[in-house]
Amino acid sequence: MPLLFNDGPDAIERQNEAVSEEQRSSEISATPVKHFDAVVIGAGFSGLYMLYRLRELGLSTRVYEAGAGVGGTWYWNRYPGARCDSPSVHYSYSFSPELEQEWEWTEKYPRQPEILRYLNHVADRFDLRRDIQLNTRVLSIIYNEASNLWMIKTDQGDQVSARYCITAAGCLSTPNTPKFPGLASFQGQVYHTGQWPHEGVDFTGKRVGVIGTGSTGIQVIPQIAKQAAHVTVFQRTPNYSLPARNRPLTPEEKASVKANYPQLRQTDRESAAGFTITRNEQSALEVTAEERQKKFEEVWAIGGFQVLASFSDIGINLESNTYMADFVRAKIGETVHNPEVARLLMPHDHPIGTKRICIDTGYYETYNRENVSLVDVRTSPIEEITPTGLRTKDAEYELDALVCATGFDAMTGALFNMEIRGKNGQLLKEKWADGPRTYLGVMTAGFPNLFIITGPGSPSVLSNMTVSIEQHVEWIGDCVQYMREHHCSSIEAEVAAEDAWVAHVNEVANFTLFPRANSWYLGANIPGKPRVFMPYVGGVGNYRIKCQEVADKGYEGFCLMTYD
């Protein structure tokens, strides 16, 4: 069967054409093979912008998306209360000044439907849909050394080749449902928050069990409690949660943001976390107890991530951190009327901020409702799900529905779900068996021309994702452009550069209190996953400078192959 090429006669394609038709056909089977300059996996924030950028460069691109619509995280996570806890005006694209001016965010923290509308608007406005194939899950991405092409197969029977493969598959996109004994026997409905039914769920009159009290649990529990007859929360580890203090944006605020977008975005890019937080540069130890309390009250009144910026050393000094943790525990005690329930909700096993901090609306208050009860499954573990409910070591609970807010196989889950093979047939999952290894979080040695957006080793989930996504997409786009201008057919991370980067990522993480918590940042939520701190703690601004320096030095630490 003839190969189909839809590429322009650019430098890269001249090199492609040097690969014989027979060579490629023999690699993939007798099915017609379509070739693209680039294949992108995922059509969320990352995939949509990557497509836009590659099109700007004139590359033929195909995006594969497992969902029936675009939106990624915001397509799947439709549970009641789903909301972003980064402010809307920061959690949005900055690449198009026109888009920034057109779009009206309604609230400080955007709800899931609003973000999904925004992403659909982006897909339409930039005419992206014609290169996106929905309802299609990529099964394998296999590098062919002879042709220097990636061979991609999907569950819809597509078999395509591409010079560049870019994973935009999400850091928190592989739901984790623990293997509770008896789960299949449950006669009621079971939901995972990350795969919520599109038609919604009516819990009216139902006895609902919720397992999990992470960011998702604390968002969904207050909403379900408003509807259900009774909600039983099964909590293994209490989390620190801070008040969101969400509210509609005023017309004046919207106008001011629109007038100042360029400065606002620049500050985000140069910041530590990807959005503007005013950090107090004082240590919590250099002020009096009264001054500390006053400061904590001040930031508590503002709410959101600002609370963690009350002092400069909350994330690195255990004594300062404990002051903040004590303050939040006291707030829980003041809010929750039942002292025993309040005690159970107070975290003690990790420093504040070392597990992903939660941002809530009325979470602790929800435990003052008559129809909500809390079960500590740390002291009385879940033993099994029965046909009529859930049984712990000490008691049985009758339930009509069970909601698993049990999180995700973070950062590597979506990659390992695909068969990704690089040089010498090496499986990515095997290369990363002891933990992910990347250079700058964007490439891994032995996998040429495979880019990972917001991969392990980049600020990613420790930052405002949209800022980190744009930085990666732009860096990748610039890299592809550089390769064309310099007649390069492949780029690959060097092992020495990768080793040095992994060591640096660990060193920076160990300087903080992060490794003290059993968090998903460390893979601790997935049985058997190696305990390695995955995101880069060094800060968005510093990381951007480092990436730019690498590019300015002709992609230092990468091996580039030319074909002239």
Name the residues that contact ligand N01, by CB under 6 A: 83-85, 172, 178, 211-217, 219, 236-237, 356, 377, 382, 405-408, 461, 520, 525
H helix or E strand, kind and range, residue 559: strand 558-562
Shortest gap between Cβ of 460 and ligand N01 (angstroms)?
10
- Read off the tokens for 136: 């299609």
Shortest gap between Cβ of 277 and ligand N01 (angstroms)?
15
CA distances from residue 47 to 38, 62, 130, 163, 168 in whole angstroms, order as listed: 12, 10, 14, 17, 5
Shortest gap between Cβ of 381 and ligand N01 (angstroms)?
8
Report which residue type is found at 97: P
Shortest gap between Cβ of 25 and ligand N01 (angstroms)?
43
DSSP-assigned states of every residue in 353-408: TSSPPEEESSHHHHTTSTTEEEEETTTS-EEEEETTEEEESS-EEE-SEEEE---B
Shortest gap between Cβ of 213 and ligand N01 (angstroms)?
4
Distance (Å, rounded) from C-alpha 507 to C-alpha 180?
36
Distance (Å, rounded) from C-alpha 60 to C-alpha 500?
35
- Read off the tokens for 364: 């602790």
- Length reported for the chain: 564
Closer CB to ligand N01, residue 111 or residue 258? 111
Shortest gap between Cβ of 522 and ligand N01 (angstroms)?
11
H helix or E strand, kind and range, residue 286: none
Q: Residue 530: CB partners within 8 Å, gap ≥ 6?
A: 433, 434, 435, 523
Shortest gap between Cβ of 378 and ligand N01 (angstroms)?
7
Question: What spatial distance separates the first Cα and last Cα of the chain, rounded to whole Å?
Answer: 30
Contact 28, 160 (CB under 8 A): no
